[in-house]
Protein backbone atom coordinates (compact mmCIF):
# COMPACT_ATOMS: atom_id res chain seq x y z
CA UNK A 1 0.00 0.00 0.00
CA UNK A 2 2.79 2.37 0.80
CA UNK A 3 4.52 1.60 -2.51
CA UNK A 4 1.38 2.39 -4.51
CA UNK A 5 1.03 5.69 -2.66
CA UNK A 6 4.62 6.55 -3.38
CA UNK A 7 4.09 5.93 -7.09
CA UNK A 8 0.98 8.08 -7.20
CA UNK A 9 2.84 10.90 -5.49
CA UNK A 10 5.45 10.84 -8.20
CA UNK A 11 2.82 11.35 -10.89
CA UNK A 12 1.28 14.41 -9.17
CA UNK A 13 2.20 17.83 -10.78
CA UNK A 14 3.56 20.59 -8.62
CA UNK A 15 1.61 23.65 -9.83
CA UNK A 16 3.67 26.01 -7.74
CA UNK A 17 6.84 25.10 -9.60
CA UNK A 18 5.22 25.24 -13.13
CA UNK A 19 3.50 28.59 -12.66
CA UNK A 20 6.57 30.78 -13.04
CA UNK A 21 7.71 29.56 -16.48
CA UNK A 22 4.21 29.82 -17.89
CA UNK A 23 4.01 33.46 -16.87
CA UNK A 24 7.32 34.26 -18.64
CA UNK A 25 6.13 32.62 -21.89
CA UNK A 26 3.11 34.86 -22.09
CA UNK A 27 5.37 37.85 -21.58
CA UNK A 28 7.61 36.88 -24.53
CA UNK A 29 4.57 36.33 -26.72
CA UNK A 30 3.19 39.77 -25.94
CA UNK A 31 6.60 41.33 -26.65
CA UNK A 32 6.83 39.62 -30.09
CA UNK A 33 3.30 40.73 -30.97
CA UNK A 34 4.17 44.30 -30.02
CA UNK A 35 7.35 44.33 -32.14
CA UNK A 36 5.51 42.79 -35.10
CA UNK A 37 2.82 45.44 -34.88
CA UNK A 38 5.42 48.20 -34.81
CA UNK A 39 7.22 46.73 -37.84
CA UNK A 40 3.97 46.39 -39.78
CA UNK A 41 2.99 49.91 -38.92
CA UNK A 42 6.41 51.23 -40.00
CA UNK A 43 6.20 49.35 -43.30
CA UNK A 44 2.72 50.62 -43.95
CA UNK A 45 3.82 54.16 -43.11
CA UNK A 46 6.84 53.90 -45.39
CA UNK A 47 4.74 52.43 -48.19
CA UNK A 48 2.12 55.12 -47.96
CA UNK A 49 4.70 57.87 -47.70
CA UNK A 50 4.47 60.06 -50.88
CA UNK A 51 7.37 59.80 -53.34
CA UNK A 52 9.04 63.06 -54.31
CA UNK A 53 8.88 63.73 -58.07
CA UNK A 54 9.36 66.61 -60.47
CA UNK A 55 6.57 67.05 -63.00
CA UNK A 56 5.70 68.93 -66.17
CA UNK A 57 2.47 69.89 -67.87
CA UNK A 58 2.06 68.42 -71.34
CA UNK A 59 1.42 71.19 -73.80
CA UNK A 60 -0.66 70.81 -76.97
CA UNK A 61 1.12 70.27 -80.27
CA UNK A 62 0.35 72.57 -83.17
CA UNK A 63 -2.75 71.55 -85.05
CA UNK A 64 -1.27 72.07 -88.52
CA UNK A 65 1.46 73.66 -90.59
CA UNK A 66 5.11 72.75 -91.01
CA UNK A 67 6.75 71.11 -88.04
CA UNK A 68 10.08 69.46 -87.46
CA UNK A 69 9.66 65.74 -88.05
CA UNK A 70 13.34 64.84 -87.78
CA UNK A 71 16.59 66.33 -86.53
CA UNK A 72 19.95 65.15 -87.83
CA UNK A 73 23.52 66.31 -88.21
CA UNK A 74 25.96 66.07 -91.08
CA UNK A 75 28.52 67.93 -93.15
CA UNK A 76 28.66 70.25 -96.14
CA UNK A 77 30.15 68.38 -99.10
CA UNK A 78 30.88 69.19 -102.74
CA UNK A 79 29.48 67.03 -105.51
CA UNK A 80 32.29 68.19 -107.80
CA UNK A 81 35.68 68.02 -106.11
CA UNK A 82 38.91 66.81 -107.69
CA UNK A 83 42.57 66.47 -106.84
CA UNK A 84 44.04 67.63 -110.15
CA UNK A 85 46.98 65.57 -111.35
CA UNK A 86 48.88 64.96 -114.57
CA UNK A 87 48.37 62.18 -117.10
CA UNK A 88 52.09 61.36 -117.14
CA UNK A 89 54.94 61.27 -114.66
CA UNK A 90 57.07 64.39 -114.83
CA UNK A 91 58.97 67.09 -113.00
CA UNK A 92 57.07 70.20 -111.94
CA UNK A 93 58.63 73.40 -113.26
CA UNK A 94 55.83 75.88 -112.54
CA UNK A 95 52.78 76.02 -110.25
CA UNK A 96 50.30 78.81 -110.96
CA UNK A 97 47.73 78.29 -108.17
CA UNK A 98 47.39 79.22 -104.52
CA UNK A 99 44.83 78.28 -101.87
CA UNK A 100 41.62 80.25 -102.25
CA UNK A 101 42.24 81.17 -105.88
CA UNK A 102 39.28 81.05 -108.26
CA UNK A 103 40.01 79.34 -111.56
CA UNK A 104 38.10 78.88 -114.79
CA UNK A 105 37.63 75.69 -116.77
CA UNK A 106 40.77 74.80 -118.83
CA UNK A 107 42.85 77.42 -117.02
CA UNK A 108 46.54 76.46 -116.71
CA UNK A 109 47.34 75.31 -113.16
CA UNK A 110 50.91 74.02 -113.57
CA UNK A 111 53.54 73.01 -116.10
CA UNK A 112 55.88 70.04 -116.20
CA UNK A 113 59.33 69.73 -117.75
CA UNK A 114 58.69 69.11 -121.49
CA UNK A 115 62.22 69.24 -122.89
CA UNK A 116 62.41 65.52 -123.74
CA UNK A 117 58.93 65.47 -125.22
CA UNK A 118 59.61 68.58 -127.29
CA UNK A 119 62.78 66.99 -128.69
CA UNK A 120 60.90 63.84 -129.64
CA UNK A 121 58.23 65.97 -131.28
CA UNK A 122 60.81 67.81 -133.36
CA UNK A 123 62.34 64.49 -134.46
CA UNK A 124 58.93 63.17 -135.46
CA UNK A 125 58.17 66.34 -137.40
CA UNK A 126 61.48 65.99 -139.27
CA UNK A 127 60.70 62.40 -140.17
CA UNK A 128 57.31 63.50 -141.44
CA UNK A 129 58.88 66.19 -143.58
CA UNK A 130 61.29 63.62 -145.09
CA UNK A 131 58.40 61.27 -145.85
CA UNK A 132 56.50 64.05 -147.56
CA UNK A 133 59.57 64.98 -149.67
CA UNK A 134 60.00 61.35 -150.75
CA UNK A 135 56.32 61.26 -151.60
CA UNK A 136 56.66 64.33 -153.84
CA UNK A 137 59.68 62.80 -155.56
CA UNK A 138 57.84 59.54 -156.23
CA UNK A 139 54.87 61.44 -157.59
CA UNK A 140 57.15 63.16 -160.14
CA UNK A 141 58.74 59.84 -161.11
CA UNK A 142 55.34 58.21 -161.49
CA UNK A 143 54.15 61.04 -163.72
CA UNK A 144 57.17 60.62 -165.99
CA UNK A 145 56.73 56.82 -166.03
CA UNK A 146 53.09 57.15 -167.07
CA UNK A 147 54.10 59.47 -169.95
CA UNK A 148 56.76 57.01 -171.03
CA UNK A 149 54.30 54.12 -170.98
CA UNK A 150 51.75 56.04 -173.08
CA UNK A 151 54.45 57.00 -175.60
CA UNK A 152 55.67 53.41 -175.97
CA UNK A 153 52.10 52.17 -176.26
CA UNK A 154 51.61 54.46 -179.31
CA UNK A 155 54.89 53.35 -180.88
CA UNK A 156 54.10 49.69 -180.26
CA UNK A 157 50.77 50.15 -182.02
CA UNK A 158 52.69 51.39 -185.10
CA UNK A 159 55.11 48.46 -184.80
CA UNK A 160 57.97 50.90 -184.02
CA UNK A 161 58.60 49.97 -180.37
CA UNK A 162 59.12 46.40 -179.25
CA UNK A 163 56.80 44.60 -176.87
CA UNK A 164 59.63 44.14 -174.36
CA UNK A 165 60.16 47.94 -174.08
CA UNK A 166 56.44 48.42 -173.53
CA UNK A 167 56.36 45.76 -170.82
CA UNK A 168 59.34 47.34 -169.03
CA UNK A 169 57.68 50.77 -169.05
CA UNK A 170 54.46 49.32 -167.71
CA UNK A 171 56.28 47.46 -164.89
CA UNK A 172 58.17 50.61 -163.92
CA UNK A 173 54.90 52.56 -163.79
CA UNK A 174 53.21 49.96 -161.57
CA UNK A 175 56.22 49.81 -159.23
CA UNK A 176 56.20 53.57 -158.80
CA UNK A 177 52.47 53.51 -158.07
CA UNK A 178 53.03 50.89 -155.33
CA UNK A 179 55.92 52.90 -153.92
CA UNK A 180 53.72 56.00 -153.94
CA UNK A 181 51.05 54.22 -151.90
CA UNK A 182 53.72 53.08 -149.44
CA UNK A 183 55.01 56.61 -149.04
CA UNK A 184 51.49 57.91 -148.56
CA UNK A 185 51.07 55.48 -145.64
CA UNK A 186 54.44 56.53 -144.25
CA UNK A 187 53.31 60.14 -144.34
CA UNK A 188 50.10 59.13 -142.54
CA UNK A 189 52.11 57.28 -139.88
CA UNK A 190 54.36 60.30 -139.52
CA UNK A 191 51.37 62.58 -139.03
CA UNK A 192 49.96 60.26 -136.38
CA UNK A 193 53.35 60.11 -134.67
CA UNK A 194 53.55 63.89 -134.61
CA UNK A 195 50.01 64.03 -133.15
CA UNK A 196 51.02 61.61 -130.37
CA UNK A 197 54.04 63.65 -129.39
CA UNK A 198 52.01 66.86 -129.64
CA UNK A 199 49.46 65.35 -127.24
CA UNK A 200 52.22 64.36 -124.85
CA UNK A 201 53.56 67.88 -125.04
CA UNK A 202 50.10 69.22 -124.22
CA UNK A 203 49.94 66.81 -121.27
CA UNK A 204 52.90 68.64 -119.77
CA UNK A 205 50.47 71.50 -119.12
CA UNK A 206 47.98 70.76 -116.32
CA UNK A 207 44.62 72.51 -116.73
CA UNK A 208 41.54 72.91 -114.54
CA UNK A 209 38.86 70.33 -115.40
CA UNK A 210 36.08 72.70 -114.26
CA UNK A 211 35.60 76.13 -112.78
CA UNK A 212 36.03 76.29 -109.02
CA UNK A 213 38.16 77.34 -106.08
CA UNK A 214 41.51 75.89 -105.10
CA UNK A 215 41.32 74.58 -101.55
CA UNK A 216 44.73 72.88 -101.40
CA UNK A 217 48.13 73.26 -103.08
CA UNK A 218 49.98 69.95 -103.01
CA UNK A 219 53.09 70.39 -105.16
CA UNK A 220 55.97 72.80 -105.63
CA UNK A 221 58.40 73.39 -108.53
CA UNK A 222 61.15 70.78 -108.62
CA UNK A 223 58.99 67.93 -107.30
CA UNK A 224 58.04 64.85 -109.27
CA UNK A 225 54.35 64.25 -109.96
CA UNK A 226 52.63 61.11 -111.18
CA UNK A 227 49.05 59.95 -111.72
CA UNK A 228 49.91 56.93 -109.54
CA UNK A 229 51.91 56.62 -106.37
CA UNK A 230 55.43 55.95 -107.64
CA UNK A 231 58.93 56.58 -106.40
CA UNK A 232 58.08 56.21 -102.71
CA UNK A 233 57.23 59.30 -100.70
CA UNK A 234 59.06 61.69 -103.01
CA UNK A 235 56.46 61.64 -105.79
CA UNK A 236 53.30 63.74 -105.56
CA UNK A 237 50.02 62.49 -106.96
CA UNK A 238 48.34 65.87 -107.43
CA UNK A 239 49.01 69.54 -108.01
CA UNK A 240 46.09 70.74 -105.91
CA UNK A 241 42.48 70.17 -104.93
CA UNK A 242 39.74 72.03 -106.79
CA UNK A 243 36.16 72.43 -105.53
CA UNK A 244 33.14 73.57 -107.50
CA UNK A 245 31.42 75.81 -104.96
CA UNK A 246 28.19 75.74 -106.95
CA UNK A 247 27.86 72.02 -106.20
CA UNK A 248 27.82 72.31 -102.40
CA UNK A 249 25.15 70.34 -100.54
CA UNK A 250 24.62 68.60 -97.20
CA UNK A 251 24.97 64.92 -96.43
CA UNK A 252 23.34 63.58 -93.27
CA UNK A 253 23.02 60.09 -91.81
CA UNK A 254 19.43 59.22 -90.85
CA UNK A 255 18.63 56.30 -88.58
CA UNK A 256 16.70 53.54 -90.32
CA UNK A 257 13.90 53.83 -87.76
CA UNK A 258 13.14 57.41 -88.83
CA UNK A 259 13.72 57.10 -92.57
CA UNK A 260 9.98 56.97 -93.27
CA UNK A 261 9.74 60.61 -92.19
CA UNK A 262 11.96 61.82 -95.03
CA UNK A 263 11.15 62.08 -98.72
CA UNK A 264 12.55 63.92 -101.74
CA UNK A 265 11.49 67.55 -102.01
CA UNK A 266 10.77 67.92 -98.30
CA UNK A 267 11.60 71.31 -96.76
CA UNK A 268 14.63 71.47 -94.47
CA UNK A 269 16.12 74.12 -92.22
CA UNK A 270 19.90 73.94 -91.79
CA UNK A 271 22.10 75.63 -89.19
CA UNK A 272 25.87 75.67 -89.60
CA UNK A 273 27.92 75.08 -86.47
CA UNK A 274 29.97 78.14 -87.43
CA UNK A 275 26.85 80.38 -87.62
CA UNK A 276 24.37 79.09 -85.00
CA UNK A 277 22.04 82.08 -85.45
CA UNK A 278 21.71 81.70 -89.23
CA UNK A 279 18.91 79.44 -90.48
CA UNK A 280 19.41 78.34 -94.10
CA UNK A 281 16.40 77.13 -96.14
CA UNK A 282 17.07 73.84 -97.91
CA UNK A 283 15.25 70.83 -99.32
CA UNK A 284 15.81 67.09 -99.56
CA UNK A 285 17.40 66.17 -102.91
CA UNK A 286 17.45 62.40 -102.66
CA UNK A 287 17.73 59.43 -100.34
CA UNK A 288 20.70 57.29 -101.32
CA UNK A 289 19.26 53.78 -101.75
CA UNK A 290 21.68 51.86 -99.53
CA UNK A 291 22.21 51.50 -95.79
CA UNK A 292 25.26 51.32 -93.55
CA UNK A 293 24.93 48.01 -91.73
CA UNK A 294 27.43 49.06 -89.05
CA UNK A 295 25.61 52.25 -88.06
CA UNK A 296 22.08 51.28 -89.24
CA UNK A 297 21.80 54.60 -91.07
CA UNK A 298 20.90 55.80 -94.55
CA UNK A 299 22.58 58.78 -96.22
CA UNK A 300 20.31 61.65 -97.29
CA UNK A 301 21.33 64.46 -99.66
CA UNK A 302 20.07 67.95 -98.80
CA UNK A 303 20.45 70.88 -101.22
CA UNK A 304 20.65 74.60 -100.45
CA UNK A 305 17.90 76.78 -101.90
CA UNK A 306 20.47 79.53 -102.36
CA UNK A 307 24.24 79.33 -101.94
CA UNK A 308 26.23 81.78 -99.87
CA UNK A 309 29.98 82.50 -99.72
CA UNK A 310 29.95 81.69 -96.01
CA UNK A 311 29.08 78.06 -96.75
CA UNK A 312 32.31 76.07 -97.05
CA UNK A 313 33.03 72.38 -97.68
CA UNK A 314 33.33 70.05 -94.66
CA UNK A 315 31.51 72.44 -92.32
CA UNK A 316 29.44 70.79 -89.62
CA UNK A 317 25.70 71.38 -89.93
CA UNK A 318 22.47 70.48 -88.11
CA UNK A 319 19.29 70.03 -90.12
CA UNK A 320 15.63 69.99 -89.16
CA UNK A 321 13.41 68.19 -91.65
CA UNK A 322 10.00 69.82 -91.88
CA UNK A 323 6.66 68.10 -92.39
CA UNK A 324 2.95 68.85 -92.24
CA UNK A 325 1.47 68.10 -88.82
CA UNK A 326 -1.62 66.73 -90.58
CA UNK A 327 0.25 64.16 -92.65
CA UNK A 328 0.71 61.66 -89.85
CA UNK A 329 4.46 61.98 -89.79
CA UNK A 330 4.19 63.94 -86.60
CA UNK A 331 2.27 66.67 -84.86
CA UNK A 332 -0.99 66.52 -82.94
CA UNK A 333 -1.22 65.08 -79.40
CA UNK A 334 0.81 66.47 -76.56
CA UNK A 335 4.41 67.63 -76.30
CA UNK A 336 6.58 66.68 -73.29
CA UNK A 337 10.28 66.54 -72.50
CA UNK A 338 12.21 63.46 -73.52
CA UNK A 339 12.94 62.73 -69.86
CA UNK A 340 9.24 62.05 -69.24
CA UNK A 341 9.20 59.02 -71.56
CA UNK A 342 10.44 55.71 -70.17
CA UNK A 343 10.93 52.27 -71.72
CA UNK A 344 9.05 49.51 -69.87
CA UNK A 345 8.49 46.05 -71.33
CA UNK A 346 9.52 47.33 -74.75
CA UNK A 347 6.91 50.10 -74.80
CA UNK A 348 7.09 53.87 -74.40
CA UNK A 349 5.26 54.94 -71.24
CA UNK A 350 4.80 58.06 -69.16
CA UNK A 351 3.68 58.39 -65.54
CA UNK A 352 0.73 60.73 -65.20
CA UNK A 353 -0.05 62.39 -61.84
CA UNK A 354 -3.76 62.68 -61.02
CA UNK A 355 -4.89 63.74 -57.52
CA UNK A 356 -1.41 63.00 -56.13
CA UNK A 357 -1.53 59.43 -57.47
CA UNK A 358 0.54 57.85 -60.25
CA UNK A 359 -0.99 56.24 -63.34
CA UNK A 360 1.05 54.34 -65.93
CA UNK A 361 0.16 55.49 -69.46
CA UNK A 362 1.48 53.79 -72.66
CA UNK A 363 2.00 56.37 -75.43
CA UNK A 364 2.68 56.44 -79.16
CA UNK A 365 5.47 58.82 -80.10
CA UNK A 366 5.35 61.08 -83.14
CA UNK A 367 7.85 63.91 -83.54
CA UNK A 368 11.20 63.52 -81.80
CA UNK A 369 13.37 66.61 -81.42
CA UNK A 370 16.55 67.27 -79.48
CA UNK A 371 14.85 67.72 -76.11
CA UNK A 372 11.14 67.10 -76.68
CA UNK A 373 8.85 64.43 -78.07
CA UNK A 374 5.26 64.50 -79.24
CA UNK A 375 2.90 61.81 -77.98
CA UNK A 376 0.41 61.36 -80.80
CA UNK A 377 -1.70 58.93 -78.73
CA UNK A 378 -2.06 58.04 -75.06
CA UNK A 379 -1.55 61.49 -73.56
CA UNK A 380 -3.64 64.65 -73.56
CA UNK A 381 -2.46 68.22 -73.37
CA UNK A 382 -2.71 69.67 -69.85
CA UNK A 383 -1.94 66.39 -68.08
CA UNK A 384 0.90 66.40 -65.57
CA UNK A 385 3.68 63.90 -66.23
CA UNK A 386 6.69 62.87 -64.14
CA UNK A 387 10.07 64.14 -65.32
CA UNK A 388 12.25 62.98 -62.42
CA UNK A 389 11.54 60.56 -59.64
CA UNK A 390 12.45 57.22 -58.08
CA UNK A 391 13.33 54.39 -60.46
CA UNK A 392 10.66 52.13 -58.95
CA UNK A 393 7.32 53.84 -59.47
CA UNK A 394 4.13 51.85 -59.05
CA UNK A 395 0.55 52.24 -60.18
CA UNK A 396 -1.49 54.23 -57.67
CA UNK A 397 1.52 55.37 -55.67
CA UNK A 398 1.16 58.67 -53.84
CA UNK A 399 3.55 61.43 -54.90
CA UNK A 400 4.35 64.97 -54.00
CA UNK A 401 5.92 67.76 -56.07
CA UNK A 402 9.59 68.48 -55.41
CA UNK A 403 10.41 71.93 -54.14
CA UNK A 404 11.62 74.20 -56.94
**8 A C-beta contact, residue 69 and residue 311:** no
Segments forming the whole domain that contains residue 159: 115-203
Who wins on pLDDT, 178 or 157?
Answer: 178
Give the mean pLDDT of 212-241: 84
Number of domains composing the chain: 4
Res 325 pLDDT > 50 = no
**Residue 394: closest CA among 43, 48, 58:** 48
Mean pLDDT of 88-108: 94
Same domain, 274 and 313: yes
| CATH classification of the domain holding 95 | 2.40.50.100
Q: Are residues 93 and 209 in the same domain?
A: yes
Q: Are both 257 and 320 inside the same structural domain?
A: yes
Let me know whether 237 and 260 are in one domain.
no
Q: For 242-261, how does the pLDDT look when each residue is reduced to its tens digit (9 = 90+)? A: 999 999 999 999 999 888 88
CATH number at residue 250: 2.40.30.170
pLDDT recorded at residue 344: 84
Q: Cα angle vertex 317, ends 315, 319, to 5°?
A: 155
| CB within 8 Å of 365: residues ≥ 6 apart | 341, 348, 373, 374, 375, 376
pLDDT in tens, 138-168: 999 999 989 988 888 888 887 787 888 888 8
C-beta of residue 213 within 8 angstroms of C-beta of residue 100: yes
Q: Distances in Å between the alpha carbon of 301 and those of 76, 261, 286, 305?
A: 10, 14, 5, 13
Write out the H or E segment, with its range, that includes residue 150. helix 115-157
332 vs 295: CA distance, rounded Å: 31
Q: Do 288 and 341 belong to one domain?
A: no
- Among the residues of 216-347, which ranges form H helices? none
Q: Kindly state whether residue 26 falls inside one of the protein's structural domains.
A: no
Is 9 a residue whose pLDDT tops 60?
Answer: no
Do 106 and 221 belong together in one domain?
A: yes
| pLDDT bracket for residue 105 (50, 70, 90) | very high
* Residues 225, 101 share a domain: yes
Amino acid sequence: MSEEKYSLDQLRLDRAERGAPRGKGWLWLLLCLLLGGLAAGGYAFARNRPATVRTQLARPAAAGGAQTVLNASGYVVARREATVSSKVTGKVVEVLIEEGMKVEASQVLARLDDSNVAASLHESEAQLAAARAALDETKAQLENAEKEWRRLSALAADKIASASDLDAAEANMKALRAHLRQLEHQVLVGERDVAVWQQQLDDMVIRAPFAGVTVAKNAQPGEMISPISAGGGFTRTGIGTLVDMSSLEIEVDVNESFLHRVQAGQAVEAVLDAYPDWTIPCKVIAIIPTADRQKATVKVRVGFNQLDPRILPEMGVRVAVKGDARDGAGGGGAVVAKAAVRKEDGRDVVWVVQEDRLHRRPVTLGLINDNEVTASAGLAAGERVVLEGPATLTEGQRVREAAK
